[in-house]
Amino acid sequence: MNSPRFIELRHRRNFRYGTAAGFLLGIGVLAAGQTQQKVIVQHEKDLSVAGFIVRPANTPELQTMLNLLPAYRVVPRIHGGKIRFVYADPNVCDCLYVGSQQAYDVYKKIRLEQHLAHQRPMTARM
């Protein structure tokens, strides 16, 4: 049978390990959140450079669209017989990025160039 002193020491040790693990997990989540936000900001810069127009969701119609669209993904939509590409950001800017087929093609080209530039240093190390 374990003595009360032994049980108390074991609980203290477990508490310390649990606290340390919780602290490290919290730091990891915070870092991941900051990294995620950096990725979102970079995507939005790329959209702007490609020719997408920023539309603040400041009307009930735009707010509804913002809430219905998948967040942080470019999706095609038909508006007035023309295809438009829409990117919804409900958290960082509370806005929509709207672009034409041409703007979307430029955006895809920018993203591909960034991906290839990121892959080159990794390939050179191998």
Model pLDDT, residue 69: 96
DSSP type of residue 56: E
User: Of 49 and 17, which is predicted with more confidence?
Assistant: 49
Q: Residue 108 is encoded by which pair of tokens?
A: 């895809």
**Average pLDDT of the residues in 53-67:** 96
Q: Is the pLDDT of residue 13 over 70?
A: no
Q: CB within 8 A of 81, min separation 6: which ones?
A: none
Across the chain, mean pLDDT equals: 79
Gap between the Cα atoms of 114 and 50, Å rounded: 13
Question: Of residues 93 and 36, which shows the higher confidence score?
Answer: 93
For residue 98, give both structure tokens.
């709207």
Tens of pLDDT, residue by residue over 103-122, are 999 999 999 998 888 786 65
Nearest to 36 by CA among 117, 110, 91: 91
The ranges assigned to domains in the chain are 4-125
pTM of the model: 0.67
How many other C-beta atoms can be found within 10 angstroms of the C-beta atom of residue 51? Answer: 15
Runs of H (alpha helix) within the chain:
4-50, 60-68, 101-125
In tens, the pLDDT along 21-54 reads: 444 444 444 444 458 888 888 999 999 999 999 9
Helix (H, G, I), strand (E, B) or coil at 12: helix
User: Quick one: average pLDDT of 88-107?
Assistant: 95
